[in-house]
Structures are given as structure tokens and as C-alpha cells.
Amino acid sequence: MLKIAIAQLNPTVGDIDGNSGAIIAAMQRAAGQGADLAVFTELALCGYYPGDLLEEAAFLDRMQAGLQRVLEASRGLPGLVSVVGAVRANDGPGKPLFNALLAIRDGVIVAEYYKQLLPTYGVFDDRRHFEPGPEGACVLQVGDHRIGFLICEDGWNHEGRDYKVNPFTALREARPDLVVSINASPSDIGKRELRHKLFRTASVHNELPILYVNQVGGQDQLVYDGASFAVSPSQGIAFEAQRFSEDFQGIGFTQGRFSAADGFALPAPGADGLPVAEFARRQIVLGLQDYARRCGFSKVVVGSSGGIDSALTLALAVDALGPENVIAVTMPSAFSSEGSVSDSVALCRNLGITLFTHPILDLVKQYGIGFEGAFDRPLQGLPLENLQARVRGTILMAYSNASGTLLLTTGNKSEISVGYCTLYGDTNGGLGLIGDLYKTEVYALSRHVNQRAGRELIPDAVLTKPPSAELAPGQQDTDSLPEYEVLDEILKWHIEGRRLPAAEAALAEQFVAGLLADANGAALVKRIHGMVARNEYKRRQAPPIIRVRSRAFGSGRQLPIAAHY
């Protein structure tokens, strides 16, 4: 039996010393458990994705030094084959680097495979820095088993639709006993199920068992969920590692089937994934934890308006960092309702966090006096509304600077889409937690947070009050926008379209088709599309948001600002 150690780690981009140390520790653990093969993830040595760090000579030098440490450690672990993702130089024509898989045994690289399919869609830009590897299979003998290799995207073209090259073709001809695929596959709604379906089909079609090892952790906007798995033609999905946490698992493989490390049957993984709300919670919590940690923050601050968006942001921040590391600030103005403050007080009491009060009435009034004196016109209407948001944003940034806390923005995807936010105001901050959740999903996740806690963390008054920016007398969101149940379906179809999960796409398409059948509905769809286009400049200047869906604002959606739509 081939004994395999699956090292589902959380590498940090650029931390070669830390990553190589974690790899060596896992190698030693694998050897101590008698493993024949230890499998790590794509670019595990430098973290995925390093971007233009790959153009810096010092970074590549550190990468090579880290690899040497791994090779040296391997000399003390006789017989163990460690499969590690790293960067290798390309001495031939094309881009100067390869995205490489290195099989290391007794301090020597005994097999070297280069990623053949380099994605440039969505959040990926591998072709910017890497040259595609040569066509053909790479197979290594490990004990009595022949092991073939893939790197992430190489396994996603088994039907041959997206690339001219299909690495499975060469593997099928080489007939290894097992295919090992190392990955850095970011998570979004439905991604786990998509991976299982695709690789189950590939396994059956090519008659090849596949071990899929994926990294875990948050990196900027992206979150990697781990969920490494094993699939064989006879067993289907035979094994799955933990989601949203590091994991080290030992499994066995013999005669085309996976087993527990002791040879007994593996527990069958659950066919169903997480409910959408729970998935979103875990995705956002892990994303914030790693973003704060990697950027050197231990505490966060949030402007608390008494509304649903800031309430959910605060609840998720407490979930991620603990109540002692979350600060809220309420900043009432002349137009703030009584509930703006009282609901914030109740929320923060429920969450166990500190709430500061910083009224802005006098500041806004003084701005108005200065504005009229300088420009001979009163400050009123939309400029006055936006000023209030900008004063609040300035106060929050001042507190962030003074206290060393990370300011979290509170905008949701519905409002960010149509520009229902103030540049240099409520868009201030270092990270947005709910910017990839539509407003209807904000409510759904808020209810889930309460249900999961078994008590009212987010007060019912916050959940039931009509949403409002409270920047003008009696203002409500529906003064400027359609009901969110309508707006969100239009936005889903316009922004994500076929990228939505099938059932969700069908509902959105049917809903929008109904609107387009009516003149008023068609005019509304056109107006919303125009609002999305006109506000690209705001999104370009906004902080990063944690990606939950397959198409989030940020690196995965690139549209021009100065364009005619």
C-alpha cells in the first residue's frame, strides 16, 4: 500500500522562510508516520499568487534559498517523496519562469513538471509571468506505484473545450496508477461541488484515480477553502479534508482505490456542501482573519450606523477576531434617527464590543459655514449628504491611524454596483467584508448569524427597519433604488449571468425576462445597467472586498472607466 500524507497548508505570499519551515515540518511529520509520499500545494514555497514579485531578482533568490532548505531537510528523511509547488527558471524562449511541481527524494529533485495550462480569466493571470510547460506526461515510480502529476488548471480541460492542449490525454496514454494534482483553487459559492463533478467525470473518463490537494487561507480578496479530496473511478469521491482550515491527513492507496492509512475504509464525505449563508460566513471570517494577520493588524474598527450592513460587518468581525479586538463608532448627525444610536448600543451590547460616540452635527455645520463663505452658495442637497459620509469617513480613518486598527468598510454588493455609496466617505477603509453579498443576502446572513448563535446578536429592530442612509430628512433607500428583491435579480443577471449557479441563473434570467416584457420594467433594467457602468470609477478606488461569488468587483472584473456603454 502507498502511504500518502496530504499537507493542506496556509502559505503566505512572499514568506519563503515561513512557508519552507511549514513544509519541512510537515515532511518530518509525514516521515514520522511512515508515509511514502507527502503532497503540498501549488506554489506552496512562495504562496499563490505572488504577482509581480516574480519580476524581482531578490524574491527569486529567496525562493531558491528556500528550495535549498527543503532539499537539505529531505536528505534526513530517506525514502520520502515530497511533492512541492515552486517557481523554476525557463532557460529557453518565452516567459522567464515556469510554475513547477517538484518531486524531491533524498535531497534530490527526481521529477519536475511544469504547468501546461495557464489561466488568464477571472482572477487568474498566470500567463503574465509563466511559460506553459511542454506537452506530455510526467510519471514517477514511488515504491510499487507509478505517479503522474498535474497542476491546478491542467485538470480543468478534460473535455478539451478551453485549451488546445488536454494534459489528461498524455496521462491516459502513460497509464499511471495514481494522478496527483496540486492546486491553489480559490473558493466561491458552488466551487466545491463543481470541483467534485469535474474531477469525478475526469477520473471515470480517463480511468485514473486522482488526488486533489488544495491550499487554504485568505490572500487579499481571495479565500482558498482547502477541501482537498481523492476520487477514483470505482469509489467516486472517497476522501475529503477539512474546509477553511489547515489539515494534515494520512491516507492509503492500493489497487486503484483509496483507504484510510491503516488500510480500512475511509468515511464517506458528505455529498452536500455548506448552506450558502454558512459558506459565506466561513469564507468571510477566514478572509478577515488572514488579511488582518498578514497585514499586521490585531484590531478592527467599524462605523456603526444602526443599519443592517454595519451590524453584520461588526458581527462577522467579532466572529473572526473576538469581541476584544473589535471597535464600533457611532456618529449621529442632524438627520440620524433615534434608532441610529439606540440600535447601535443594543448591537454592541449583544456582541460585547466597545462603542464610541462621535457626533458630527457641529462639524458638518462648520463645513457649511466655510463652504458658503468661500463659494457664495449654500451647502445643500447631494453635496451636503455626501459631506456627512465624508466627515464620518475622516473620523474613522483618524481613529484607525491613532489606534493602529484596520478600518472595515460596510458597503454591500447591491449598493456598490449602482454607486449608492460616497467616495472618500463610507468607501474609506482597508477591507470590505460584505461587498460581494447582495443586500438580500446581507439580511439572510444576518438571520443566520442570529440562528447560529442561538440568540439575538443583531437586534430585530435592525433587521426590520427600512434601509436608509439617513443623510436627509425621512430618507429611505427606495427613494433612489427599486426594492432590493428586484434590484438584486437585475444585478445578478447583469454582473454574473452564466457564472451564477445553474438554479440561481435560471431564476435571475426568468425574473429579468419578465421585466423586459414590460416597458416600465425594461426602462428599469436599462437604468440599473447605466448606473452600474457610470460608477466603475468608484469601485476602482474602493478597498478590496472578500470574494464570495464567482465574479466579484476587483481583480476578477476588469472594465474601463472612460467608455460608452
User: pLDDT, tens digit, for every residue of 193-202?
Assistant: 999 999 999 9
Q: Whole-angstrom Cα distance, residue 400 to residue 430?
A: 10
Total number of domains constituting the chain: 2
How confident is the model at residue 363, as a pLDDT?
Answer: 95
Residues 254 and 321 in one domain: no
Which candidate, 19, 8, 7, 67, places its Cα nearest to that of 47?
Answer: 19
How confident is the model at residue 229, as a pLDDT?
Answer: 97
Which of 260, 293, 318 finishes a domain? 260
State the DSSP string of 231-291.
Answer: EETTTEEEEE--BSS-EEEEEEEETTEEEETTSSPPPPPPSS---HHHHHHHHHHHHHHHH
How confident is the model at residue 561, as a pLDDT?
Answer: 86
Residues 180 and 250 in one domain: yes
- The count of other CB atoms within 10 Å of the CB of residue 49 is 23
Write out the residue range of the structural domain in which residue 438 sits: 278-477+535-541
For residue 361, give the 3-state DSSP assignment: helix
State the DSSP string of 128-171.
Answer: GTBPPPPSS--EEEETTEEEEEEEGGGGG-TTSSS-S--HHHHH
Residues 49 and 166 in one domain: yes
Helices (H) and strands (E) in the chain — how many of each? 16, 20
Supply the CATH number for residue 230's domain. 3.60.110.10
Q: Whole-angstrom Cα distance, residue 336 to residue 319?
A: 28
Residues 211 and 285 in one domain: no
- The answer to whether residue 458 is domain-embedded is yes
* 414 neighbors 487 (Cβ within 8 angstroms): yes
Residues 128 and 189 in one domain: yes
* Whether pLDDT at 473 is above 90: no
More confident call, 158 vs 275: 275
* Whether pLDDT at 265 is above 90: no
How confident is the model at residue 468, as a pLDDT?
Answer: 67
Which candidate, 256, 259, 265, places its Cα nearest to that of 233?
Answer: 256
* Whether pLDDT at 474 is above 70: no
* 295 neighbors 406 (Cβ within 8 angstroms): yes
How confident is the model at residue 358, as a pLDDT?
Answer: 96
User: pLDDT-based confidence at 475, cuts 50/70/90?
Assistant: low
Residues 416 and 284 in one domain: yes
Residues 256 and 289 in one domain: no
- The answer to whether residue 68 is domain-embedded is yes
Q: Whole-angstrom Cα distance, residue 149 to residue 562?
A: 45
User: pLDDT-based confidence at 542, cuts 50/70/90?
Assistant: very high
Which of 260, 292, 314 finishes a domain? 260
pLDDT (average), residues 226-233: 97
Residues 299 and 178 in one domain: no
Q: What is the pLDDT of residues 45-62, one digit of tens each?
A: 999 999 999 999 999 999
Q: Whole-angstrom Cα distance, residue 363 to residue 361?
A: 6
- The answer to whether residue 559 is domain-embedded is no
* 82 neighbors 40 (Cβ within 8 angstroms): yes
How confident is the model at residue 135, as a pLDDT?
Answer: 94
Q: Whole-angstrom Cα distance, residue 420 to residue 415?
A: 5
Supply the CATH number for residue 372's domain. 3.40.50.620
- The answer to whether residue 564 is domain-embedded is no
Q: Which residues are catalytic?
A: 42, 115, 152
Residues 466 and 386 in one domain: yes
User: pLDDT-based confidence at 268, cuts 50/70/90?
Assistant: confident
- The answer to whether residue 551 is domain-embedded is no
How confident is the model at residue 469, as a pLDDT?
Answer: 61
Q: Whole-angstrom Cα distance, residue 565 to residue 560?
A: 10
Helix (H) / strand (E) element for 3: namely strand 2-8
Task: Report which DSSP code applies to 463.
Answer: H
Q: Which three three-digit cell numbers place residue 476?
A: 429611505
- The answer to whether residue 273 is domain-embedded is no
* 104 neighbors 71 (Cβ within 8 angstroms): yes
User: pLDDT-based confidence at 477, cuts 50/70/90?
Assistant: low
* Whether pLDDT at 387 is above 90: yes
User: pLDDT-based confidence at 354, cuts 50/70/90?
Assistant: very high
Among 77-91, 313-327, 454-468, which is the least confidently predicted range? 454-468
Beta bridge partners of 248: 7
- The answer to whether residue 484 is domain-embedded is no
Residues 100 and 54 in one domain: yes
Q: Whole-angstrom Cα distance, residue 491 to residue 508?
A: 9
Which of 207, 228, 260 finishes a domain? 260
* Whether pLDDT at 339 is above 80: no
Residues 203 and 298 in one domain: no
* Whether pLDDT at 479 is above 90: no
Which candidate, 243, 269, 263, 242, places its Cα nearest to that of 251?
Answer: 263
Residue 530's Cβ-side half-sphere holds a number of Cα atoms within 13 Å equal to 7
- The answer to whether residue 561 is domain-embedded is no
Q: What is the mean pLDDT of the chain?
A: 94
Residues 103 and 198 in one domain: yes
How confident is the model at residue 563, as a pLDDT?
Answer: 83
Among 238-242, 323-327, 474-478, which is the least confidently predicted range? 474-478
Q: Whole-angstrom Cα distance, residue 239 to residue 349?
A: 43
For residue 226, give the 3-state DSSP assignment: strand
